[in-house]
Amino acid sequence: MADADIPKPTTTAPPEDQSVETGEAKGPSKNELKKRAKEAEKARKAQEKAARQAELERQKAEAEVDFASEFYGKQPLNQSQSRPRIPRVQIASLNPNLDGQTVLLRARLQASRQQGNKMTFLNLRQRTDSVQAIVSVTPEKVSKQMVKWAGGLQEESIVLVEGTVAKSPEIIKSASVGDVELHVSKIFLISGLEGRLPFSVEDANRPETEIEATDDVQYKRVGLDTRLNNRVVDLRTQTNQAVFKLQSAIGHLFREYLDSQGFIEIHSPKLQGAATESGASVFKVSYFKGNAYLAQSPQLAKQMCIAADFERVYEIAPVFRAENANTHRHMTEFIGLDLEMAIEEHYHEVMELLDSLFKHIFSGLRDRYKKDIDVVHKQFPADEFKWREGPEGTLRFTFKEAVDLLVEDGVPRETLDDINTENEKRLGRIVKAKYDTDYYIIDKFPMALRPFYTMPDPEDPTLSNSYDFFMRGEEILSGAQRIHDPTFLAEKMREKGVNPEDMSFYTDAFKMGCPPHGGRRRASLFPRDPKRLEP
Amino acid sequence: MADADIPKPTTTAPPEDQSVETGEAKGPSKNELKKRAKEAEKARKAQEKAARQAELERQKAEAEVDFASEFYGKQPLNQSQSRPRIPRVQIASLNPNLDGQTVLLRARLQASRQQGNKMTFLNLRQRTDSVQAIVSVTPEKVSKQMVKWAGGLQEESIVLVEGTVAKSPEIIKSASVGDVELHVSKIFLISGLEGRLPFSVEDANRPETEIEATDDVQYKRVGLDTRLNNRVVDLRTQTNQAVFKLQSAIGHLFREYLDSQGFIEIHSPKLQGAATESGASVFKVSYFKGNAYLAQSPQLAKQMCIAADFERVYEIAPVFRAENANTHRHMTEFIGLDLEMAIEEHYHEVMELLDSLFKHIFSGLRDRYKKDIDVVHKQFPADEFKWREGPEGTLRFTFKEAVDLLVEDGVPRETLDDINTENEKRLGRIVKAKYDTDYYIIDKFPMALRPFYTMPDPEDPTLSNSYDFFMRGEEILSGAQRIHDPTFLAEKMREKGVNPEDMSFYTDAFKMGCPPHGGRRRASLFPRDPKRLEP
């Protein structure tokens, strides 16, 4: 069967009146010339129209190429015209055992490079996986036109490829599946591009070390704004595909552990009648004839669920913070992982459950998502994450002990009423050097650093029953026992300048009886900061 | 050991000057009388102060009652003072095999009723479970005072109870665990109430049938507004505990199925730079010096994830609708369950996956959450939900066939350009009578009823590649193939009066190449409607 015989669009010169060329003895009159020019213009337009028509028909013919009988071309727009039920494979499933088998797959064309007039190399990509495919002239199957057509396909087009799996003569480094290649027998364009790519996915996926190590100008660093303005392309990098798979995995592991511990998942409202935690950084919403506010955390709703006998609840949901400072550093919307549980005897019950939860997430990621972690590490190299898994348990110390460690390391004690970000990082390095762990807990924070609903320490009212969890010197969780007694709560609210009357919907919940309880709370697909609402 | 000897608050009569009673021969002067009255007043005040002091000390003593050595009283505020690690049990775990064993549990006191001066019956509740407990005078253990104290505890207090499990002489109907009862040896108040209960949890949990069947005025119907204004108490009913466990279960089953099918969970932003689906019903947010809008659905973000090669994504997140009509019928915030996936050949791939997803949820709820469904059915009786599980598959018909069924049933054809809510319900009854199923799919909706991004039918442009899923005549899902071609999309946007330039962040996503795809998109803990932002 012949390749699809596609007529080239005819680029015609405008038609001229032949009589002009014959050189008559007497020149035509001015009127005659005008008339001829008009006719010529008319003929030119007619011919242009015919050419446009021909182009449309050519496009239609190209679009109607039938996969069953043709070897290449543009597929008609998929309007679910038919359902041949031909199975399609994933690149990740390709391996040398499939040598000689013919497979069909849909993939993104990361790159296309023609070599001479007989061969085109393609790099095909699906999520974090890629494979090399070769379109090589083969009698009765692959024509020179097809090789050229494939070589002319734009990067990031979506193609449907039929090919035979073949063991690679040597490992192909540019592909994640490097031990096989595909010998293409058919290739169809499912979706092309309109306009230019803002950057290549390959560039966006390049490790910093590779960019810095070369003088070659082609290795462009793709800036953050360029990435975010074209997030759909940026998200296609293998790194981002892995990052968001890992984000999904963290949610899954979080729920998996908590479901096993008798928690239920709740969905608390994000529209609030009053600002919750602090008035300054809350978004105001026009709500019919009045105003509403976006929830800064599900803190109060979670606690109300405890007062409503839910016993153990968690929520994964957006939280909104109107913190400006006109920087991109604070995200205005992010996903919070929150939990709250009734306490039987002691708030350490919550702290220990949280510790087990984190260890479940750490080991789950390591054991089940190694491939995705490796993909991220390719672009962003990092040391292996270390935590204590043995019977000695997670490293814990008190806020006072943490301050002592910093003082020992040379930080003036008088600057340590609070541990700022810089000192948190420093502490991370001290702990790593001294105890060889990236993960630890600091307990017993000063009451002055915690919100009004935090339970004070029973022996020292300047301390609180609260803790932070740290990974590599960064706080990843803040948790505490909450005050469950309405009178005590009202007293502490007033001490922090909050009028209990203004939050009666919350304080009332405790008046109907509430068990002792505690909890905690904390990635972005399309990030939102004070300057970014799109895409 | 003796019971805690709690001094009673002394209700003293105002002291009188004894000399008045002695009846001296000569009556006192007016000044003398004034002076005596003043002194009497002073003495009365001093005595009152002493009484208050005694009461405070009594309360303090009561609060400091030591669980290890006492039998009853108010526990001190739990500030995590100690951690004796005495295991506590769940009511659900109690059964006749535990006969004779002593257990400790924390529970809500649903009811307390003293009988004579030697016995108090308690109904103890945890989530959907309840058990009867008896405080009965027993030498060396349970005093008359203890029986009286327990009898005076307020409904909905939280108590810590130690008791011996005993087989019930007969099934106790007022308790969910009716084959055992607890013989209480110790009882402590963990959290009491401030003020009166707005309604009893027992009343709020009563079936309508029970309320209607009786003339007894004590069976009050608790109104919706009363419930929602006191949602923390309303949520404690066994019905609501089951409802929200089932809501959590639906999310779990939804994810479980989709995770098994290669989906990843995404979290798309709720703050948008522009109104998405239609301008009228969107909430406006003050966003620093400009405005933002709350997402009415994750539709566009999901599709952008497909253009970004995520292939298969789902999201469980709040959606916001500013639909007013000044009624409570429309919720302004609810949880959407959304998914989007790339299509290989035909949009029925998505429809069939959704069908399998629903059947997974139906059978999962029936097989794993029977207890909770039964709890809900106690208050809200309903027929068993029926769906086709056999090889014949789920009942499907086209919009045209659905119209024919309604016409056959007597609905005038000219009123059926769209199927309104009333006719949807009617259709549900027709289908149930004719096919004995509560679950079915209607395919091929008219293009006029669908949004701009819906793919038209390849053969009839007035129809679309879209479908709705129904349960008992109520739409539970709306799904469709989306337009993935940017030129065709822009054309359809203009036809529906949307300017593609205004949504360039969306349309641009398709210009960078996008595979064919399709998807779909729906309880409330603290409901939000145009008139309700609290609690």
The encoded tokens of residue A74 equal: 């543009």
Question: What is the distance between the alpha carbons of residues B176 and A84, in angstroms, rounded to a whole number?
Answer: 55
Tell me the chain B residues in contact with residue A244 when contact means C-beta distances shorter than 8 Å: 264, 266, 310
| A229 shares a domain with A248 | no
> Would residue B16 count as lying in a domain?
no
Tokens read off for B507: 């349309």
Q: What is the pLDDT of residue A277?
A: 54
Q: If we measure between CA atoms, which residue out of B376, B335, B339 comes closest to residue B356?
A: B339
User: Tens place of pLDDT for every residue, chain A, 535 residues?
Assistant: 333 333 333 333 333 333 333 334 456 677 887 888 888 888 877 887 777 677 666 655 554 444 445 799 999 999 999 999 999 999 999 999 999 999 999 999 999 999 999 999 999 999 999 999 999 999 888 999 999 999 999 999 999 999 999 999 999 999 999 999 999 999 999 999 988 899 999 999 998 777 776 665 566 788 888 998 899 999 999 999 999 999 999 999 999 999 999 999 999 999 988 765 555 588 999 998 889 999 988 888 898 999 999 999 999 999 998 876 555 557 888 888 999 999 999 999 999 999 999 999 999 999 999 999 999 999 999 898 999 999 999 999 999 999 999 999 999 999 999 999 999 999 999 999 999 999 999 999 999 999 889 999 999 999 999 999 999 999 988 999 999 999 999 998 898 888 888 888 788 778 878 888 888 755 455 667 666 766 5
Contacts for A340 with CB less than 8 Å, ≥ 6 apart: A302, A303, A305, A306, A312, A313, A314, A482, A517, A518, A519
Q: Which of B525, B528, B532, B534 to mutate to test the interface with A (most CBs of A within 10 A)?
A: B525
Token readout for B3 is 């019971």
Are residue A130 and residue A142 in the same domain, yes or no?
yes
Per DSSP, the residues of A457-491 read PSS-TTBBSEEEEEETTEEEEEEEEEP--HHHHHH
Which residue has 């009698």 as its token pair? A139
| Beta-carbon count within 10 A of B281 CB | 15
Which stretch of DSSP H or E encloses residue A74?
A: strand A72-74
> Is residue B4 included in any domain, yes or no?
no
Please give, rounded to a whole number of angstroms, the shortest distance from the CA of A510 to a CA of chain B.
8
Helix axes B238-260, B370-379, angle to 10 degrees: 140
CA distances from A392 to A24, A387, A395, B307, B437 (A): 110, 11, 8, 48, 58
- Residue of chain A nearest B347, judged by CA positions: A80
Q: Which residues of chain B have pLDDT under 70?
A: 1-28, 52, 55-69, 213-219, 275-280, 324-329, 521-527, 529-535
Strands of A312-320's sheet in order across: A264-265, A312-320, A333-342, A517-520, A474-482, A466-471, A439-443, A395-398
Instruction: Give the separation between CA B219 and CA B354, rounded to whole angstroms.
Output: 44
- In the Cβ-directed half-sphere of B93, how many Cα atoms lie within 13 Å? 7
CATH number at residue A140: 2.40.50.140
Report CB contact under 8 Å: B308, A235: yes
Largest CA distance in chain B: 121
Domain total for chain A? 3
Distance CA A139, CA B63 (A): 94
Classify B47 as helix, strand or coil.
helix
* Residues A457 and A374 both lie in one domain: yes
Closest by Cβ to B84, choosing from A269, A274, A345? A345
Residue A8 has what pLDDT?
36
CB-nearest partner of A106 from B255, B344, B506: B344
| Opening angle at CA A15, ends A9 and A20, nearest 5 | 160
What count of CB pairs under 8 Å joins A to B? 310
Nearest to B283 among A86, A286, A347 (CB): A286
Of all residues in chain A, the one with the smallest CA distance to B287 is A283
Q: How many residues does chain A have?
A: 535
Contact (CB<8Å) B83/A348: yes
Residue A154 sits in the same domain as residue A219: no
Please give the pLDDT value at position B265: 96
- Residue B1 counted as domain residue: no
Domain match, B340 and B206 both: no
3-state DSSP assignment of residue B191: strand
Chain A residues in contact with B286 (beta carbon < 8 A): 283-286
Task: Inspect the interface and report whether the beta carbons of B259 and A270 lie closer than 8 Å.
Answer: no
Token pair listed for B325: 């009509």
Closest CA to B282 of B339, B327, B337, B324: B324
Is the alpha carbon torsion for B198, B204, B206, B207 positive or negative?
positive
Last residue of a domain, one of B183, B216, B236: B236
Q: Which of A194, A488, A508 sits opposite B511 (nearest CB)?
A: A194
**For B526, which of A193, A255, A269 is closest by C-beta distance?**
A269
Q: Mind giving me the DSSP string for B460-490?
A: -TTBBSEEEEEETTEEEEEEEEEP--HHHHH
d(CA A388, nearest CA chain B) in Å: 24
Compare CB distances from A267 to B84, B335, B535 and report the shortest one's residue.
Answer: B335
**Test the B interface: residue of A344, A460, A483, A503 with most B CBs within 10 Å:** A344
In this structure, what token pair is assigned to residue A393? 């348990």
| Cβ neighbour number for residue A310 with a 10 Å cutoff | 25
Calculate ∠ Cα B300-B301-B303, nearest 5°: 65
Residues across chain B: 535
SS3 at position B449:
helix
* Residues B309 and B205 grouped into a single domain: no
DSSP string over A218-282:
TSPPPPHHHHHHTHHHHTTSHHHHHHHHHHHHHHHHHHHHHHHTT-EE----SEESS--S-STT-
* E strand residue ranges, B282-438: 284-287, 290-294, 312-320, 333-342, 395-398
The structure's pTM equals: 0.84
Same domain, A179 and A246: no
Please indicate whether, in this complex, the C-beta atoms of B270 and A156 are within 8 angstroms of each other.
no
**CA-only gyration radius of chain B, Å:** 33
Residues B263 and B217 in one domain: no
**Structure-block tokens of residue A153:** 């396909």
Q: How far is CA A32 from CA A24, A35, A45, A351, in A?
A: 13, 5, 20, 99
Euclidean distance between CA atoms B471 and B385, whole angstroms? 9
A80 lies in some domain: no
List the domain range (segments joined by +) for residue B182. 86-191
Residues A384 and A435 reside in one and the same domain:
yes
Here the CATH number for the domain that contains residue B489 is 3.30.930.10
Distance, in Å, from the CA atom of B253 to the CA atom of B244, rounded to the nearest integer, reads 14
Q: Taking CB atoms and an 8 Å limit, are A525 and B305 in contact across chains?
A: yes
Q: Is residue B153 part of a domain?
A: yes
Q: Are B251 and B383 within one domain? A: yes
A13 lies in some domain = no
B318 contacts A270? CB cut-off 8 A: yes
On chain B, the residues whose CB falls within 8 A of the CB of A127 are: 309-311
In a domain, A7, yes or no: no
For A418, the token pair is 């609070």
Phi and psi angles of residue A83, each rounded to the nearest 5 degrees, phi first: -140, 75
Residue with tokens 């306490």: A343
Q: Using a CB-CB distance cutoff of 8 angstroms, which residues of chain B are in contact with residue A513?
A: 108, 156-158, 191-193
Which regions of B16-168 does DSSP assign to beta strands (E)? 72-74, 102-115, 119-126, 129-136, 158-167
Tens-place pLDDT, residues A96-109: 999 999 999 999 99
Strands (E), B127-179: 129-136, 158-167
All residues of chain A having their beta carbon less than 8 Å from the beta carbon of residue B272 are: 533-534
CB contact under 8 A, B525 and A317: no
CA separation for the pair B272, A535 (Å, rounded): 8
Helix (H, G, I), strand (E, B) or coil at B119: strand
A271-272 sheet: strands from edge to edge: A271-272, A290-294, A284-287, B284-287, B290-294, B271-272
| Domain's final residue, options B236, B257, B291 | B236
A131 and A110 within one domain: yes
Residues with Cβ within 8 Å of residue A79, at least 6 apart in sequence? B455, B456, B457, B458, B465, B481
pLDDT of residue A54: 73
Same domain, A424 and A355: yes
Say if B68 falls within a structural domain: no
Q: Are B346 and A83 in contact (CB < 8 Å)?
A: yes
Count of Cβ atoms closer than 10 Å to residue A5 Cβ: 7
Can you tell me the distance from the alpha carbon of A35 to that of A19, in angstroms, rounded to the nearest whole number?
A: 13
CA distance B42 to chain A (A): 31
List chain A residues with CB under 8 Å of B455: 79-80
